[in-house]
Structure 1
Amino acid sequence: MNQSSSPKRRTAVAIAAILVLGAAAATAIVYGTQPAKPAAEANGHEHAGKAHDQDAESGHKHEEEKEHAPGDRHEHEEGESKDEARGEQEHDEGMLKLDAERARTAGVTLAQAGPAAIGSSLQLPGEIRFNEDRTAHVVPRVAGVAESVAANLGQVVKKGQLLAVLSSPAVSEQRSELMASQKRLALARTTYQREKQLWQEKISAEQDYLQAQQLLREAEIAAANAQQKLAAIGAGAGSSGRLNRFELRAPLDGVVVEKHLSVGEAVQDSTAVFTVSDLRSVWAEMKVAASDLPFVRVGEKAVVQATAFESRASGTVAYVGALIGQDTRTAPARITLDNPDGIWRPGLFVNVNLTASSQQVAVSIATPAVQKIDGDKPVVFVPVDGGFKAQAVKLGKADAQNTEVLQGLTAGQSYVNGGSFILKSELGKATAEHVH
């Protein structure tokens, strides 16, 4: 019996062990726990886990340092290079490196800033016109028909030169009247001589002598009157058979600037058929506003400059109008210019610069030395070690020769007088190359 019950007991114990192990496994699955391990093994795994975690953390940090450290270093170095470039650019701004040999080749010359008298100028627009005092509008003064025209437009003529020939009935009548008066005058003179002789010989009465004398005086007046009529229209006595011939001649030396006559054309006594002007003298006319009239006076010096080409001439104000126009609210003024070479042609637009007054300034430079960079920033180039520098200046009054300097230069300081525009061009090239 004991032997039979022993296998059953072993079987029950095995089943119980199996059940206990299954319950333990289920508990481990439910609660996520592992089966218990020996303490040494657990401690070993714990230390290994901590070491692994530390290694992983340090490795992660190391990787982050590897990822970020080169970029930060690059950005730092790039920032330093930009700061250095910016500092160098600020240091070299307006600086042009140019040795003495190149500056001399470029025509750079120096001068010293100092005091000068600067005139306050006034610029007015104007136009070249004919000198009306030396311009003639040729009119026939008699009605007629053109038989021939000898003068052409633009032709240079001399005083008395034949311009055209007209056929005029009025001239024919006046010449006939002159001839008749001359015949009556001859008869009156003969009658007077006879009556005078008879009266002296006591043959005729004194009354007959006095009457003959009266008729002679009237005949002389009539003949003189007929002669003056022809002279008034510019016609002479004429030749026999051509009483109607009327000649138009140039009244002065000049150029035929207008022509309104052709062969066969009928003209009236008031028609201007030619205009002859002596272009060796012209007028520069301008309109002066009321506010500028105090600065424009007769005798003031002026410089006339053409707007279409480089040409200048000096003159003086010859006339200033006494009245202001109701429509334009300006007064006319003009300058007489000598024009021996014919440069100043009527109709040419000009600028008239008037020097009203002058004022002494402490610091001034030559006006051509002023250059403008960065739009309208005025600068003056001054010599420095190794080249030249564009010195910013504040300017005051100016005329064609000198410009006042309020800030930026002192009296006696050297500056570039000649060749400043070349330095400006070189500075622009250097700036463009530095930017690119």
Structure 2
Amino acid sequence: MKPSSLIATFALTLLLAACGGSAPDDDHPADEAAGHADSGHADAEEPQQGEHGGRLLQQGGYTVELAIAEDGTPPKYRAWLYRDGKPLPPSAGTVEVRLQRLGNIAENHALKPQADGSLLAASVVGEPHSFAVVVLAGIDGKTLRWAYDSFEGRTVIGAKIAEESGIRAAAVGAGTIADEHEVQGLLTPIEGREAKVMARFPGPIRSLRANVGDRVRAGQALAVVESNLSLTNYTVTAPISGVVLARNAAVGAVAGEGSALFEIADLSQLWVDLHIFGADAQHIRAGVPVAVTRMSDGVTAQTVLERVLPGTATASQSTVARATLANGDGQWRPGSAVKARITVAQQPAALVVPLAAVQTFRDWEVVFVRVGDTYEVRPVELGQRDATRVEVLSGIKPGDQVVVEQSYLVKADIEKSGASHDH
């Protein structure tokens, strides 16, 4: 973890502790009804439980035991009725559960009598089970009402604290998921843009006029040699424009026939030879975009794959894919190793989030949705992903404000608050 991240985590912890932890949420009805219970935090009083493990709601001699049943089935509300502590048949009353989720999202669950003596809702209670609850029951002609909070995976972080901690949320929407391949390669001069400067006739070298690294132009004088045949001097010139890569001569030495005095290359463009292994070589084709990154400083340049060579590199048993890279500033150097990302295809997706937005919470993959200063976990079903983004198939909707930076700080604060999973 970077020092800045450690500082942000420490600052968030101190600031929240100074404020007494996560603040209560005001995004639900006031707690005015009888039977108001805990808000779901670890330090709240635990509700009384009935024989079926449900929450006991009592009023005027009547009791409703309410639970979220998920014994191998999708979670649904189930209830049992009592009068003066004695069980009543499910036909003796009615039960309706009204939920208000974060963002003032209303959800109703009407429970129907079952043969096993309970009342059961047909509708599923989606995760997270975090909401303000109002329970309406009718027993013996009496209308009963309870209200309580049942929060989980929720915390409140003030805007200033979030900003200082680097927590940032953004609206989610459509995007693309790329089929990408991370490979490595080598920069090489382009064939036909290299030249060896030769002496035409053997003889002693009288002068040299270029050094390694010099830029020269075609026709520029590079050396003067005295011919052994005519005993006259002649000038050796550069056959192409480029950079001097090597000088293989010294003044006074004898230039032999066929010996290279200089090696020159035009490095304004370079080849990037990328090594592709295994099955990846079967569906990488010319014409796809390539992002090449210089390992020395992380600079990235965009280019296009020009060809996939027909042979196989003997030493590595890899297929070589080649692209051309502009090198006008001369900062890309032949012989340097590079890494590259080849984008084979891009698939549109209805919803995408950055990989940094995704965390694990209990046994879920989740993101954190922000409404005002309140943050809440959202279990999500994920689809395809690439190096930076992941597709979200369910769990959030377009326009939701999702934490995209420092999401681990939100997770840490939720886990610190100890919000219960109240069934």
TM-score (norm 1): 0.54
Q: How does 1:6-405 map to 2 (within 5 A)?
A: 84=42, 97-104=156-163, 109-170=168-229, 172=230, 243=232, 245-367=233-355, 369-370=357-358, 380-384=367-371, 386-389=373-376, 391=378, 393=380, 395-399=382-386, 402-405=389-392
Query: Whose strand proportion is higher, 1 or 2?
Result: 2
1:47 is aligned to none
Give the match's secondary structure for 1:323. strand
What CA distance in whole angstroms lies between the structure 2 residues aligned with 1:372 and 1:156?
A: 56
Counterpart amino acid of residue 252 in structure 1? I
Counterpart amino acid of residue 345 in structure 2? S
Relative to structure 1, the CA distance from residue 349 to residue 368 in structure 2 (aligned partners, 3 Å threshold; closer, same or farther) is farther
Deviation at 1:368, TM superposition (A): 5.2
Give the match's secondary structure for 1:328. coil
Query: Whose helix proportion is higher, 1 or 2?
Result: 1
Root-mean-square deviation (Å):
3.7
Give the match's secondary structure for 2:280. helix
What CA distance in whole angstroms lies between the structure 2 residues aligned with 1:307 and 1:343?
A: 12
What CA distance in whole angstroms lies between the structure 1 residues aligned with 2:255 and 2:152?
A: 77
Deviations 1:43-64 (A, max 9, x none): xxxxxxxxxxxxxxxxxxxxxx
Deviation at 1:370, TM superposition (A): 4.4
- Taking every aligned residue pair, what percent have the same amino acid on both sides? 29
Counterpart amino acid of residue 157 in structure 1? V
Deviation at 1:335, TM superposition (A): 0.9
2:122 is aligned to none
Instruction: Give the count of matched residue pairs.
Output: 276
Is the 8 Å Cα contact of residues 198 and 261 (structure 2) preserved in structure 1?
yes
Is the 8 Å Cα contact of residues 112 and 365 (structure 1) preserved in structure 2?
no
TM-score (norm 2): 0.55
Give the match's secondary structure for 1:294. helix
Is the 8 Å Cα contact of residues 96 and 427 (structure 1) preserved in structure 2?
no
Relative to structure 1, the CA distance from residue 331 to residue 268 in structure 2 (aligned partners, 3 Å threshold; closer, same or farther) is farther
What CA distance in whole angstroms lies between the structure 1 residues aligned with 2:360 and 2:208?
A: 60
Relative to structure 1, the CA distance from residue 272 to residue 94 in structure 2 (aligned partners, 3 Å threshold; closer, same or farther) is farther
Is the 8 Å Cα contact of residues 225 and 255 (structure 2) preserved in structure 1?
no
Deviations 1:352-374 (A, max 9, x none): 21111222334322345446899
Is the 8 Å Cα contact of residues 308 and 349 (structure 1) preserved in structure 2?
no
Unaligned 5+ segments in structure 1 are: 1-82, 173-241
Give the match's secondary structure for 1:255. strand
Relative to structure 1, the CA distance from residue 128 to residue 391 in structure 2 (aligned partners, 3 Å threshold; closer, same or farther) is farther
Give the match's secondary structure for 2:312. coil
Deviation at 1:301, TM superposition (A): 1.6
Give the match's secondary structure for 1:354. strand
Is the 8 Å Cα contact of residues 366 and 402 (structure 1) preserved in structure 2?
yes
What CA distance in whole angstroms lies between the structure 2 residues aligned with 1:272 and 1:333?
A: 31
Is the 8 Å Cα contact of residues 279 and 339 (structure 1) preserved in structure 2?
yes
What CA distance in whole angstroms lies between the structure 1 residues aligned with 2:216 and 2:359?
A: 51
Deviation at 1:433, TM superposition (A): 12
Deviation at 1:259, TM superposition (A): 1.6
Structure whose alpha-carbon radius of gyration is higher:
1
What CA distance in whole angstroms lies between the structure 1 residues aligned with 2:368 and 2:257?
A: 70
What CA distance in whole angstroms lies between the structure 2 residues aligned with 1:281 and 1:111?
A: 40
Counterpart amino acid of residue 322 in structure 1? P
What CA distance in whole angstroms lies between the structure 2 residues aligned with 1:372 and 1:133?
A: 55
Moved more, 325-334 or 121-130: 325-334
What CA distance in whole angstroms lies between the structure 1 residues aligned with 2:153 and 2:197?
A: 66
Deviation at 1:347, TM superposition (A): 2.6
What CA distance in whole angstroms lies between the structure 2 residues aligned with 1:270 and 1:369?
A: 64
Give the match's secondary structure for 1:273. strand
Counterpart amino acid of residue 257 in structure 1? L
Is the 8 Å Cα contact of residues 144 and 168 (structure 1) preserved in structure 2?
yes
Question: Which is bigger in relative contact order (C-alpha 8 A, separation at least 6)?
Answer: 1
